[in-house]
Structure 1
Amino acid sequence: MHVPATAAPHPQGLVPLPANPAWQVLDRSWDVTASDMRDQILQVASELIRRNGPAGATARTICKIIGVTAPTLYHYYSDMETLREEVVNRAFEKILEVSNAGWASGHGVDGLKRSWDAFLAFANDEPAMFSILANRTMNGPMPKIAIESLAKFEDTLSGPEFAGRLTQPSKTAAHILWSAAQGAGVLLLAKQSGLALSADIGDDIFNTVMSSLMPATPQAP
């Protein structure tokens, strides 16, 4: 297979994607807008994962698009798993920025719901990224997002708003809610394959779980 020569730098510092049949895996021309090499690698990996799934973001493909060799990639990211996890973390951070639903926002049931909504927004808006998260959660080691989301649930449910109101110890309740969030996220992935789901499925699962953990829980909007 003919490998295109490295593209000349764009006048504004962009690195254009080579126009070559070898890149038909990508559906359009696009520019790598980051000027820092570490961010360029991250941006290209992110785009490849979104378009082609985790298997599409190989070290070889990333290096060809940017015009570098593998040692450069591994200088910034020790291995491909590290790069994929950074891609997932960055994508999730952007979801939080858009939704204004950082882990620290809100208390009580409202705080839990904000965290729940942000997590499911990630599954819905970034299915390829969420699939990496789900696989890493199952096969280990647990990625940063999974650890932080579980810690958020544990911290919130151990707070004074829930004291004496839960049907389970707070840590157990957090594990139940967190497991439900993982399952709801995977269910949203199935929607990408044509599974018909209620538009309110995320809210319905949250309310059902919280009603079991805290029977007097008001229904979340």
Structure 2
Amino acid sequence: MPYGEGMDAREKILEATTALLAEAPVADVSTRAVCEAAGVGAPMLYRIFGDKAGLLAAVVDRGFERYLASKRAARPGKDPVADLKKGWDNHTRFALEHPNHYRLMYSPGLTVPPAAAQEAHALLHAILERCAAAGRLTMPPVLATQVIMSANVGAALSLLTRPEQYPDPRFSARLRDAVIDSLTRPTDPADATGAPASDGQAPVPVAAATLAARLRADVPPAFTPAESALLQQWLEKLSAGRGGSGPTP
């Protein structure tokens, strides 16, 4: 049945696609079925969305909007690493509650990248910048974002597509802890600011990642843009382990 007259054509098409996607056995729908359900012609669909990939990307963005809105509105906690683990759990929960939207979002066949995927990546990166500024991160935030996002998406897709191979209800949490604990460090109880621990110096990558994040947040006015960029470049190399106190083989 075509959708209500009060909707514009774009909204009718998105509503119809969302409904069909929720009922589909796989994360895909045909444009013909969408047009029939929305009560519009194929030329209208292609004029608005360009092609099927554009339509599916728009549907993914629409489906993820509530999830992303909650992440945007979340207030940072005192412990950025705890926020990181909470974000992992929320990501996995959304995937399990919206399986077709989620599989479609990360489908290699979706040639138009959904804006939602890019925003989710940016929101994760922002938390990791906080971890670095607090002296909790052992690698550059950009690299840590790639590691965590890849692991989180991989875990969620594994649970969705091969549930019989992942029966352990603690699987996602175990992987979460293994991944995040491998690239973060505990807060020194004597100094929560990220300074070197009282029993020795912080490793060079940790110290470099911390300083780089703090400089990104608050560039000293005495630095010229060129000086700031050069310092950031060196700190990024050190935080990635390309440098340090020992000789290079």
Instruction: Using the TM superposition, give the Cα deviation of residue 104 of structure 1 relative to its aligned residue in structure 2, in angstroms.
Output: 5.2
Which secondary structure does the structure 1 equivalent of 2:107 belong to?
helix
Which secondary structure does the structure 1 equivalent of 2:37 belong to?
helix
Measured in 1, the distance between the counterparts of 2:82 and 2:19 equals 33
Aligned partner of 2:155 in structure 1 is 184
Measured in 2, the distance between the counterparts of 1:139 and 1:64 equals 23
Which of 123, 130, 133 does residue 102 from structure 2 map onto? 130
Measured in 1, the distance between the counterparts of 2:58 and 2:160 equals 21
Please say if 1:74 is aligned against 2:9.
no
Please say if 1:121 is aligned against 2:99.
no
The structure-2 alpha-carbon separation of the partners of 1:34 and 1:84, relative to structure 1 and needing over 3 Å to count, comes to farther
Q: Is the 1:95–1:122 Cα contact (8 Å) retained in structure 2?
A: yes
Alignment RMSD (CA, Å): 2.8
Measured in 1, the distance between the counterparts of 2:157 and 2:46 equals 31
Q: How many residues align?
A: 184
Q: Is the 2:9–2:40 Cα contact (8 Å) retained in structure 1?
A: no
Aligned partner of 1:216 in structure 2 is 186
Q: Is the 1:105–1:114 Cα contact (8 Å) retained in structure 2?
A: no
1:74-93 residue pairs with structure 2 within 5 A? Answer: 74-93=46-65
Q: Deviations over 1:169-220 (max 9, x none)?
A: 22222211111111112112125x5444222322222211111111427xxx
1:211 is matched by which residue type in structure 2? Answer: D
Please say if 1:207 is aligned against 2:177.
yes
Aligned partner of 2:202 in structure 1 is none
Measured in 2, the distance between the counterparts of 1:211 and 1:115 equals 15
Measured in 1, the distance between the counterparts of 2:6 and 2:156 equals 30
The structure-2 alpha-carbon separation of the partners of 1:32 and 1:115, relative to structure 1 and needing over 3 Å to count, comes to farther
Of residues 159-168 and 112-121 in structure 1, the stretch that sits farther from structure 2 once superposed is 159-168
Aligned partner of 1:54 in structure 2 is 27
Instruction: Using the TM superposition, give the Cα deviation of residue 157 of structure 1 relative to its aligned residue in structure 2, in angstroms.
Output: 1.3
Measured in 2, the distance between the counterparts of 1:148 and 1:141 equals 15
Measured in 2, the distance between the counterparts of 1:51 and 1:68 equals 20
Q: Is the 2:105–2:114 Cα contact (8 Å) retained in structure 1?
A: yes
The structure-2 alpha-carbon separation of the partners of 1:198 and 1:46, relative to structure 1 and needing over 3 Å to count, comes to same
Q: Is the 2:60–2:105 Cα contact (8 Å) retained in structure 1?
A: yes
Aligned partner of 2:10 in structure 1 is 38
Aligned partner of 1:102 in structure 2 is 72
1:17-32 residue pairs with structure 2 within 5 A? Answer: none
Aligned partner of 1:151 in structure 2 is 122
Q: Deviations over 1:91-129 (max 9, x none)?
A: 1123456xx443754251233234323321221111111
Measured in 2, the distance between the counterparts of 1:196 and 1:151 equals 29
The structure-2 alpha-carbon separation of the partners of 1:88 and 1:33, relative to structure 1 and needing over 3 Å to count, comes to farther
